[in-house]
Amino acid sequence: MKLSIIAALSVAAAALVMSKENEPKVTKIINCRILRDHKIVEKDAIWIQSGKIIDPHKFFWYQKRLPDVVLDAEGLIIAPGFIEAQINGAFGVDFSVPMDHDIYEKGLLKVNRGLLKYGTTSYCPTIVSSSSSVYHRVLPHLKLRAGSAETGATILGAHVEGPFINKARIGAHELKVLQASANDGYKNFKEVYGLEGETPEAQRKLSDKDLNCIKIITCAPELEGVMDTIPDLVKAGITVSVGHSMANISQAERAVENGATFITHLFNAMSQFHHRDPGVIGLLGSRLDLPRPYYGLICDGIHVHPNSVKIAYDSHPKGAILITDAMSAMGLPLGNYQLGNMSVTKEDDRVYIEGTETLAGSVITLDACVRNFIKFTHCSLVEALEAVTLHPATLLGIQDTKGVIKPGADADLVFLSDDLYVKRVFVAGEEVDLKSIDVEAVEKF
Amino acid sequence: MRLVIRKDFEAVSYHVAKYVKERIKEFAPTATKPFVLGLPTGSSPIGVYRNLVKFHQAGELSFQHIITFNMDEYVGLPRDHPESYHSFMWSNLFKHVDILPENVHILDGNATDLDLECQRYEEKIAAVGGIELFLGGIGPDGHIAFNEPGSSLNSRTRVKTLAYDTIVANARFFDNDITKVPNLALTVGVATVMDAREVCIIITGAHKALALAKCIEEGVNHMWTVSAIQLHPRGMIVCDEDATLELHVKTVNYFKSIEKVHEQLIGSDNVGLQGGVRSWRGGAESTYHQ
């Protein structure tokens, strides 16, 4: 009797070894505090297989084996990898400047890898208002491409900020490339950006196959023809954001009715809040039957005053999406740089046009935005983290795979200390060697 | 049969968990000599599992060489359904401990051939040499596992129709909708439980007081299926004060006095884990008797 049990056990053990060789490796992360379902969950684990979060309950019953690797997170907080909806460049790379194919790709790789240091594991490279020829050259680089520990953050598709924006709220964009109207509707957009889909429906098919290079369009709905084109853009699988706009409240609400779901850098480059006509900002107080849009907040404490950040958060906490809107000096050491045709000086968390006190853009990092957001609003840790994970993921319709820690989602993870500094990063289930990135970013520049 | 009375649910849970831990340690299981444990689901064992997890986390208990067999599972409920007993065991015990997945057994309520599944379950229990210790809880009607009143006391693992009372009671787990409650289950039989070398039943709460009285003060009766424990050579019931409400004072006092006498005259260190007395204080020879 005993012998037969031992024989049976050893057969089972052999079968187990065989199945282990065939099945992809499973990693279990223990001793962590997990952001899950709007809570910080303690005494639980994250299970990863083939780059995805898996359901350990199913794994236990169906695969009938233990994890191959058990990793101790030493009590750190684990959040989904951060998602950034608006960033113009970093590490000396400006996404809006066309380059030879290989040089542009090299720059992208540098940013993709460099952003991991700050916890960003997917993002929308942002292109400022440009001429059609620029879009035609840069956008083909910015189609969805999945990230990895080697190649860095996932590119989700471009955020094209303009050129269908109001010249009275131009910000740092170039006046001569703006489009004053879109009287031919979708066709105008298609031609300017070089979209491949002849119709919104055709473009949608490309979007569904992740072949659409544009994820977000920032436009001013008050421009002739733009308001009526919003439904077509949405149909094409593109997120429409209101920004660089003088829209009054009724125009802004119509844009939302037509399908706009985002406000580009709230408070910046829009009509100021007036109590009789609150303009785009007024969307935060929209009537109940209108879905309130998400809004981007540059959380560097400079572009938006901390009190304004708190006002926005208090009125619509579930809509907050933190953005850096960073320019190419982000991630660079302090000093003087020639960026495109601009000479700039980077000091602390600010960057000036050399010899002046004019800000040349933002150089904040996304993890710093999270820390600022808590400081400015006194919101909970969960709310602050969701403003760079769940909220942008939901805005972009990718909340089943990004911005969440649940079975089926991509295993993009950020390990954070209690004071919210990035300690470890996983992309698609593989740990990133953060130290190697530090060296590379500084030396290669 | 032993009846251990503790103050409340917490004290009962701790006592049983500690007992299980000590029994396992005494057994000293290895890969070739695993400890086979029978397990229940429901509200009764939750506190026991919580304590077992604590023992495991404190490094006092390993599940490495423990094989488990659960009592029952609904028929037709997906394994991942939050109310399945697979889910219950996963979230209350298995996910927290180092048990090997291949050592865990729960009846498959979605098997294509349910009778065959039940037959194989009995075979699997036999193949590992039978169950060393079966933990159980009871329903207010004295049922053990899904052996509803009227079940044969010689029953083995089989498909069982749930009593209307049980369906109504379980509706709270299914959106209070009795149509959503499965009306069939697979369950080990009364005899499957009683075949274990030791049986330990948890009974807590005033609502189970009548069942406890029926099970230990009256005869063996298939209308109170857990009463079969009266015929088991190593049966133990651990209950709280509330569950003793329907017992005779004499019964309660007798069982309480056993512990007291042991404590005072023999010394708790001289009492075996299963209640046996190793030697009488002052006695000339070391003896061991029940």
Question: Is it the case that residue B289 has pLDDT exceeding 60?
Answer: no
Q: Which of helix, strand or coil describes residue A237?
A: coil
What mean pLDDT do residues A288-298 have? 94
Cα–Cα distance for residue pair B53/B60, rounded to 1 Å:
10
User: Given the DSSP bridges, would you call strands A52-53 and A39-49 parallel, antiparallel or unpaired?
Assistant: antiparallel
Bridge-based pairing state of the strands A342-347 and A335-339: antiparallel
Whether B31 has its CB under 8 Å from any CB of chain A: the answer is yes
Q: How far is B121 from chain A (nearest CA, A)?
A: 16
Residue A13: its pLDDT value, please? 45
Q: How many whole angstroms separate alpha carbon A271 and alpha carbon B156?
A: 78
CB atoms within 10 A of CB A9: 15
Which of B23, B3, B11 lies closest to B48 in space, CA to CA? B11
Instruction: Compute the distance between CA of residue B262 and CA of residue B270 in angstroms, rounded to an integer.
Output: 8
Q: State the Cα–Cα distance between residues B181 and A240, nearest whole angstrom.
A: 46
* CATH code: domain of residue B176: 3.40.50.1360
Size of interface A-B (CB pairs under 8 A): 39
Give residues with Cβ within 8 angstroms of A357, minimum separation 6.
none
Residue B263 in domain: no
- Is B287's pLDDT higher than 70? no
Q: What confidence score (pLDDT) does residue A388 get?
A: 98
Å from B55 to nearest chain A CA? 15
pLDDT average, residue stretch B132-145: 94
Least confident of A317-321, A347-351, A435-439, B91-95: A435-439
State how far the Cα of A230 lies from the Cα of A241, in Å rounded to an integer.
10
Decide the pairing of beta strands B133-137 and B158-161. unpaired
Locate the DSSP E strands across B146-244: 158-161, 184-187, 199-203, 235-240
B127 in A contact zone (CB under 8 Å): yes
Total count of domains within chain B = 1
Sequence-separated (6 or more) residues with CB below 8 Å from residue A172: A128, A361
Does A359 appear as a known binding residue? yes
Is B260 a member of any domain?
no
B241 belongs to a structural domain: yes
Residue A444: exposure state from Cβ atoms within 10 A (0-12, 13-18, ≥19): exposed
Q: Quick one: which of A187, A243, A246, A193 has its CA closest to A215?
A: A193
pLDDT above 90 coverage of chain A, percent = 78
Torsion region of A301: left, alpha or beta (phi above 0 gives left; psi -120 to 50 gives alpha): left
Residue of B nearest to A28 (CA): B95
Ligand-binding annotation for A360, yes or no, is yes
The pLDDT of residue B281? 59
Residue B154 lies in a domain: yes
**ipTM here:** 0.77
pLDDT greater than 70 at residue A214: yes
Is the pLDDT confidence value at A338 over 50?
yes
Mean pLDDT calculated for residue range A423-439: 90
Phi, psi of A43 (to 5 degrees): 55, 40
**Which residues of B does the annotation mark as catalytic?**
72, 141, 143, 148
Residue A254 labelled as part of a binding site: no
Residue B19 sits at the chain A interface (C-beta within 8 Å): no
Query: Given pLDDT bands bounded at 50, 70 and 90, which one contains residue B268?
Result: low
Write the class of the CATH domain A81-400.
alpha beta
Q: Is B261 on the interface with A (CB under 8 A)?
A: no
Question: B-chain residues within 8 Å CB-CB of A60?
Answer: 90, 94-95, 101, 104
Catalytic annotation, residues of A: 325
Question: How many Å is the Cα radius of gyration of chain A?
Answer: 23
Q: Is B33 inside a domain boundary?
A: yes
Shortest Cα distance from A42 to chain B (angstroms)?
Answer: 12
pLDDT (tens digit per residue) in A40-63: 999 889 999 999 999 999 899 888
Among A295, A289, A301, which Cα is nearest to A318's? A295
Instruction: Indicate the domain borders of chain A.
Output: 81-400
Cis peptide before A163 (omega within 30 of 0): yes
Q: Give the chain A residue whose CA is nearest to the CA of B128.
A: A5
pLDDT tens for each residue of B249-263: 999 999 999 888 877
pLDDT one-digit tens code per residue, B146-164: 999 999 999 999 999 988 8
Residue B258 CA to chain centroid, in angstroms?
22
Angle B208-B212-B215 from CA coordinates, rounded to 5°: 135
Q: How does pLDDT run across A226-260, given as a tens digit for each residue?
A: 999 999 999 999 999 999 999 999 999 999 999 99
Cα A298 to chain centroid, rounded: 13
Residues of B in contact with A12 (CB under 8 A): 102
Is A57 known to sit in a ligand binding site?
A: no
Q: Distance between CA A74 and CA A415 in Å, rounded?
A: 10
Rounded Cα distance, A201 and A211, in Å: 13
Which residues of chain A have a CB within 8 Å of the CB of B80? Answer: 55, 57-58
For residues B151 and B165, what is the distance between their CA atoms, to the nearest angstrom? 15
Return the pLDDT at A438. 66
Q: Is B101 on the interface with A (CB under 8 A)?
A: yes
Given pLDDT bands bounded at 50, 70 and 90, which one contains residue B266?
Answer: low
**A265 labelled ligand-binding:** yes
CB atoms within 10 A of CB B154: 11
A:4-33 residues touching chain B, CB 8 A cutoff: 5-6, 8-9, 12, 16
Nearest 5°: the CA angle A419, A425, A431 is 145
Q: Is residue B188 a contact partner of residue B71, using CB atoms and an 8 Å limit? A: yes
Nearest CB partner across the interface for B102, out of A1, A16, A58: A16
Residue B76 structure tokens: 């037709």
- List of chain B residues whose C-beta atoms are within 8 Å of the C-beta of residue A9: 31-32
The string of pLDDT tens digits covering residues B152-195 is 999 999 999 988 888 888 898 899 999 999 999 999 999 999 99
Interface of A with B in 50-109 (CB under 8 A): 55-58, 60-61, 63-66
Q: Give residues with Cβ within 8 angstroms of A56, minimum separation 6.
A: A28, A45, A47, B90, B95
pLDDT of the residue at A21: 58
What residues in A contact B86, CB-CB < 8 Å? 57, 61
Axis crossing angle, helix B85-92 with helix B46-57, rounded to the nearest 10: 40
pLDDT band at B118 (very low <50, low <70, confident <90, very high): very high
Q: Mind listing the pLDDT tens digit for each residue in B206-258? A: 999 999 999 999 999 999 999 999 999 999 999 999 999 999 999 999 999 98
**Residue A268 marked as a ligand binder:** yes
Residue A442 has pLDDT above 70, yes or no: no
The pLDDT of residue A389 is above 50: yes
Joined together, the tokens standing for residue B169 give 């009671």
Of the pLDDT bands very low, low, confident and very high (cuts 50, 70, 90), residue B271 is low
Range of the domain at B147: 2-247
Smallest Cβ–Cβ distance between B102 and the set A55, A56, A64 belongs to A64
pLDDT of residue A9: 47
Average pLDDT over every residue of A18-43 = 86
Kind of pairing between the strands at A430-431 and A422-427: antiparallel
**Residues A413 and A28 sit within 8 Å (Cβ to Cβ):** no
Assigned domain for B281 exists: no
Query: What confidence score (pLDDT) does residue B19 get?
Result: 94
Residue A173 marked as a ligand binder: no
Q: Cβ of B101 and A57 within 8 Å?
A: no
Can you tell me the distance from the alpha carbon of A324 to that of A372, in angstroms, rounded to the nearest whole number?
A: 12
Residue A308 has pLDDT above 60, yes or no: yes
Pairwise CA distance, residues A106 & B161, whole Å: 68
> Percent of chain B beyond pLDDT 70?
93
Residues in a beta bridge with A148 = A152
On the question of pLDDT at A87 being above 90, the answer is yes
Q: Which of B80, B95, B128 sits opposite A5 (nearest CB)?
A: B128
The whole-number pLDDT of residue A17 equals: 43
Distance from CA of B84 to the nearest CA of A (A): 12
Closest CA of chain B from A384, distance in Å: 29
